Amino acid sequence: MSVESKGVVTGAKETLAGFREFLTRGNVVELAVAVVVGTAFTNIVNSVVQGMINPVVGAFGTQNLDAYSSCLRGPCVDNPEGEADEGILLHWGSVLSATLTFLITAAVVYFLMILPMTRYLARRRAKDAIEPQPPAKTELDILAEIRDELIAQRADRDGRAGTQVTVGAPRSGDGDAERGPA
């Protein structure tokens, strides 16, 4: 195998590894689930539009929104395929039907998915914010801890556990004063 072909194989493996990582990443899987659910949900929305919205519109005209159209110019004469042989025919009913389908889909997604998830995340953030966080240590707190540790070490070394010793001050008794400050 030549050096060039090894580079191509290595590059292909890296590309495939990157593609595998891309596919297994959470966002891609969530997007795939959303597409599948959205496709299934489209059938429900179309049924609502055809079974409920169109009959209400049909009370004022025809139940098929696609039948609503207007002739923009000249006499509109339809051929058997539904296309205008003469004039300019605007099929605004199909646009109205698609718009209603979109609005119903958006409303259901918002009220059944987005709004509950937003409320859940807000409650979760509020719960996390309520948990008390220990206050950050100041330099004074750290210095006090160091002082206390030094006092404890000195008391252990001198065998006087429990005796209060001030750091830097001369100690009294047992000849410690001759040694000078600690």
Residue 177 pLDDT exceeds 50? no
Structure pTM?
A: 0.44
Number of domains in the chain: 2
Q: Are 87 and 73 in contact (CB under 8 A)?
A: yes
- The reply to whether 94 and 155 lie within a common domain is no
pLDDT single digits (tens) 19-53: 777 767 767 767 777 888 888 878 887 787 778 87
- The reply to whether 108 and 164 lie within a common domain is no
The three-class DSSP label of residue 69 is coil
DSSP 105-151: HHHHHIIIIIHHHHHHHHHHHHHHHHSPPPPPPPHHHHHHHHHHHHH
pLDDT single digits (tens) 144-170: 999 999 999 998 888 765 555 555 555
Measured in whole angstroms, the distance separating CA 43 from the mean position of its chain's CA atoms is 27
pLDDT single digits (tens) 54-80: 788 777 776 677 778 788 777 777 666
Output the six-digit token pair for 89: 């025919």
Supply the pLDDT for residue 146: 94
- The reply to whether 32 and 75 lie within a common domain is yes
Can you give the residue range of the structural domain that contains 152? Answer: 139-168
Supply the pLDDT for residue 85: 65
**What are the residues whose beta carbons fall under 8 Å from the beta carbon of 94, sequence distance 6 or more?**
65, 66
Residue 151 lies in a domain: yes
Q: Are 151 and 165 in contact (CB under 8 A)?
A: yes
- The reply to whether 103 and 150 lie within a common domain is no
